[in-house]
A = this chain, B = another copy of it.
Amino acid sequence: MLMEEAKGGKVTRQIEEVARAEGVSVEFVRRGVAAGRIVIPSNVRRQRRAVGIGEGLRVKVNANVGTSPDYVNPEEEVEKARVAVRYGADSVMDLSIGGDLDQIRRMILEAVEVPIGTVPVYQASVEAVARRGHVIDMSSDDIFNTIRKHAEDGVDFVTVHCGVTRDVVETLRRKGRLLKMVSRGGSLLAAWMIHHGRENPLYAEFDYLLELAREFDLTLSLGDGMRPGCLADASDAAQFHELLTLGELVKRARKANVQAMVEGPGHLPLNQVEMNVRLEKAVCDGAPFYVLGPVVTDVAPGYDHLVAAIGGALAAWAGADFLCYVTPTEHLGLPSVEDVKAGVIATRIAAHVADVAKGRDLRWDNEISEARKRFDWARQIALAIDPDLAREIRSRRPPVMDPKACSMCSQYCALKLAEEYLREAQKR
């Protein structure tokens, strides 16, 4: 139990690995894990790369992959996971809901070194449909047994929508919304609760969930079933009622030595991003904040990776620790491998922009700028976040008149002129 060991003063293998990767002291990481302000999702059965998420560490990026009932191609999902990691994803979530879910999950767990997350309630409801015809035809046991199965397979973190309580659903119902719910897991649970007239098992039996998590050192990612799905619904009562509930559950998780992070919106106008982050940090006592986007306008399907990069950069600068990527196909369909790459790179850029704004990782920027100063194109391209694309763009319209410059300015290159004449000024 990582958190228990950290509380007891022990520096584990994971803590050492994270400290080394981040360039911080092991003591800093140990204290963060002990306090619950840093999580290192690392199932006792898997034990691959240790990735730290939380206060004082670099901003991390998650990529979602997974089949849908419409498109089932396990090899493609594995390829998406590999491409995501190649372009800088720090974790991968398998959100499959079509095909042989056990097989796909195990293939992804095997294929990449980064922490893997899942949303077990998906599988529980997909199996309910297969066995009994409808998503709500699942028992509380079905849900917990699926979580156990995922944990046994080595899944490092699971999204559990524990905050979708009857009270929170009642707030949603009373208050109303343009788009009621856009969280797949949250809506499955809400449907189940309403249909059966029962409390959310993940809330009612949270202690059992903690026991289960402890057994595998499974990190809980407390899902935001009430995340707003459009700007009109942002920062409303349902969203914050759920967040307050999650704040209580974070405390209970920490007491039980279970690592927990908190998921957040969603669609938010830019002016609400910082507030949402600070609110989570206050209400959840600094628990790592894992945001989806935020998507800061609803009008750009096809460009939602870019929209989420705007929101994500600001959120991460304000303190969000973990950015879930959004791909260009969000709101339109299942992403392809190319879309996964576009989503990861956009989100990586957002994360890096925030790290740099916090004064971290400036070396990368300075190195590429120094290469730019020297007109060292090979080095500039090698240092680019996507060297293949940078090379391709430059080769599309290569410089003609002046091979040192680029085809935009050619001999009128400002850098060259300024270097030449300022040197002349110096000599006088």
Contacts and interface: CB of A to CB of B under 8 A. Distances in A.
A251 interface: no
A407 B71 contact: yes
17 contacts: A70-B410, A71-B400, A173-B422, A173-B425, A181-B418, A187-B414, A187-B417, A269-B356, A297-B349, A298-B369, A302-B385, A309-B310, A329-B393, A329-B396, A331-B372, A333-B393, A333-B394
Interface stretch (A46-54, A205-213, A228-236): A228-236
A385 B422 contact: no
Interface in A370-428: 370, 372-373, 380-381, 383-386, 389-390, 392-394, 396-401, 406-415, 417-422, 424-426
B181 A346 contact: no
Contact of A296 (B296, B313, B358, B421): B313
B356 A393 contact: no
Interface in A184-220: 184, 186-188, 190-191, 194-195
Contacts of A412: 69, 97, 122, 125-126, 135, 184, 188
Give the number of copies in the complex: 2
A303 B305 CA distance: 12
A369 B230 contact: yes
A163 B408 CA distance: 24
A300 interface: yes
Interface size class of A (residues with CB under 8 A): 35 or more
A313 B373 CA distance: 28
A314 interface: yes
B310 A415 contact: no
A167 interface: no
